[in-house]
């Protein structure tokens, strides 16, 4: 019985131990917890990696956009900078051009000959250099003219003056047999009185002798040597001439300062030598009424017809002297093709195309009431008489051209 009790006790203990062991066996829980922890760890690691990748992508995207913005901003600023510099360069060139033109126009009287001669020399040198650069072979010069076709002329001491060419200086002429003051006047298109004045021949003496040397002025009028203290107004008043005509004569070389230099040879076109007695009429002047009657009527008078200087080879228009501010009216209907305000030459002026190849210029105005491209009607107010540009007093310079060739306005005014 004890053995059976003993066996029962052992069985009970074994059962109890087994049951207790089974109850307190945490291996499965540990496995479960390990799996959960591992799962959480793995999940956290993935989130961390995703965040890192997201941050890298975001930073890369921001960097790209930032770089693109900075690059765009740079190009915009650079383009604005370039535009500013180009405009500054253009402005500088424009100022330099205006200064150069003003200098040339102001000094054109003194620099006329040097500029002309220098320009010819430069063009000739460029032509020679260009010819050497572009010539691939040498051309042997050959005389293609037969001796029989060569024109021969005998040697002569007589000066040969080309026709239809204005003279810029006094001509020394040796009187030939048969010459008279009248024939010389016709030959050189100057008045007899002008030849007498230039050679100090008395008014009542019309005789010249062969072999005598005479000075022939380039234009009808007086040749005057400027003295200290002289000015345009004094000279014009002394010789009953127009100041503007003296200035406009191209071979007087008067710059825009209108100053005279002592010792300068001054030609006074249409001037008359003072005489103690009543002066004779040197040449008939066309009266205003006659000029009006002779016109075709294409143009009307833009201002009252007070002509102070007539049309000539060196003055391709007419000057109409009127008080400062006198209204100027369009002589014909047309379109304004040029209108400027400048301080030299024409001064404030406008040019109107009236059709059929004709253009009419109005110059030296004190007020300008016509704009480029505007159509003006005959009789419309376009400006006022002034002294702008190369002018010695208030007047309107009216100039008419047809296909670029100067036309005497008096032939068209009614």
Q: What single-letter DSSP state applies at residue 282?
A: S
- Angular region, 397: left φ>0, alpha ψ -120 to 50, beta rest: beta
Sequence-separated (6 or more) residues with CB below 8 Å from residue 35 = none
pLDDT in tens, 3-41: 544 454 455 445 444 444 454 454 555 555 456 555 555
- Of 29-38, 101-110, 284-293, 302-311, the one with minimum mean pLDDT is 284-293
What is the predicted pLDDT for the residue at 384? Answer: 95
Contact call for residues 194 and 217 (beta carbons, < 8 A): yes
Token pair recorded at residue 268: 């006074």
Beta strands in 203-257 (DSSP E): 213-216, 221-225
pLDDT in tens, 42-92: 555 667 777 778 888 878 888 888 888 888 989 899 999 999 999 999 988
Average pLDDT over residues 306-321: 91
- Of 107-116, 374-383, 394-403, the one with minimum mean pLDDT is 107-116
3-state secondary structure of 75: helix
Q: Which numeric CATH code is attached to 171-269? A: 3.10.350.10
Q: Residue 338 — φ and ψ, nearest 5°?
A: -160, 140
Across-strand partners of 384? 327, 367
Other C-beta atoms within 10 Å of 192: how many? Answer: 18
What is the predicted pLDDT for the residue at 151? Answer: 45
Q: What is the mean pLDDT of the chain?
A: 78
Identical fold for domains 171-269 and 288-411, yes or no, is no
User: For 211, how many CA atoms within 13 A lie in the half-sphere containing its CB?
Assistant: 0
Integer Cα distance of 330 and 301 in angstroms: 8
Other C-beta atoms within 10 Å of 38: how many? Answer: 10
Residue ranges per structural domain of the chain: 41-106, 171-269, 288-411
What is the predicted pLDDT for the residue at 113? Answer: 66
The answer to whether residue 176 scores a pLDDT higher than 60 is yes
Q: What single-letter DSSP state applies at residue 236?
A: H
Q: In which element (H, E) is residue 338 found?
A: strand 334-340
Q: Which numeric CATH code is attached to 288-411? A: 2.70.70.10
Closest C-alpha to 357, from 337, 373, 339, 341 = 337
User: For 244, how many CA atoms within 13 A lie in the half-sphere containing its CB?
Assistant: 25
Integer Cα distance of 198 and 218 in angstroms: 11
Closest C-alpha to 397, from 244, 293, 242 = 244
């Amino acid at each position: 019985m004890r053995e059976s009790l003993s066996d029962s006790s052992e069985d009970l203990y074994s059962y109890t131990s087994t049951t207790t062991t089974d109850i307190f066996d945490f291996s499965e829980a540990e496995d479960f917890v390990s799996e959960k922890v591992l799962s959480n760890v793995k999940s956290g690691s993935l989130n961390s990696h995703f965040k890192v990748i997201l941050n890298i992508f975001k930073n890369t995207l921001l960097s790209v956009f930032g770089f693109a913005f900075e690059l765009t901003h740079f190009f915009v600023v650079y383009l604005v900078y370039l535009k500013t510099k180009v405009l500054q360069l253009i402005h500088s060139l424009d100022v330099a051009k205006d200064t150069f033109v003003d200098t040339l126009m102001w000094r054109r009287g003194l620099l006329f000959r040097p500029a002309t001669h220098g320009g010819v020399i430069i063009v000739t040198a460029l032509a020679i250099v260009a010819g050497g650069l572009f010539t691939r072979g040498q051309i042997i010069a050959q005389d293609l003219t037969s001796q029989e076709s060569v024109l021969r002329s005998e040697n002569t001491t007589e000066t040969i003056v080309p026709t239809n060419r204005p003279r810029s200086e006094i001509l020394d002429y040796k009187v030939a047999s048969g010459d008279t003051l009248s024939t010389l006047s016709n030959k050189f298109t100057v008045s007899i009185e002008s030849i007498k004045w230039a050679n100090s021949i008395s008014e009542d003496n019309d005789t010249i002798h062969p072999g005598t040397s005479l000075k022939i002025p380039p234009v009808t009028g007086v040749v005057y040597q400027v003295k200290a203290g002289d000015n345009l107004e004094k000279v014009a008043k002394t010789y009953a001439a127009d100041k503007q005509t003296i200035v406009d004569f191209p071979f007087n070389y008067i710059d825009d300062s209108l100053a005279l230099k002592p010792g300068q040879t001054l030609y006074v076109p249409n001037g008359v030598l003072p005489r103690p007695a009543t002066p004779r009429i040197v040449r008939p002047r066309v009266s205003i009424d006659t000029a009006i009657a002779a016109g075709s009527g294409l143009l009307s008078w833009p201002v009252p017809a007070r002509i102070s200087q007539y049309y000539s080879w060196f003055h391709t228009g007419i000057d109409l002297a009127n008080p400062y501010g006198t209204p100027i009216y369009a002589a014909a209907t047309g379109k304004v093709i040029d209108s400027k305000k400048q301080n030299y030459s024409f001064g404030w002026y406008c040019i109107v195309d009236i059709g059929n190849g004709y253009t009419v210029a109005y110059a030296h105005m004190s007020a300008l009431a016509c704009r480029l491209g505007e159509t003006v009607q005959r009789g419309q107010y376009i400006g006022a008489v002034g002294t702008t540009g190369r002018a010695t007093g208030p007047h309107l310079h009216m100039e008419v051209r047809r296909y670029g060739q100067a036309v005497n306005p008096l032939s068209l005014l009614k």
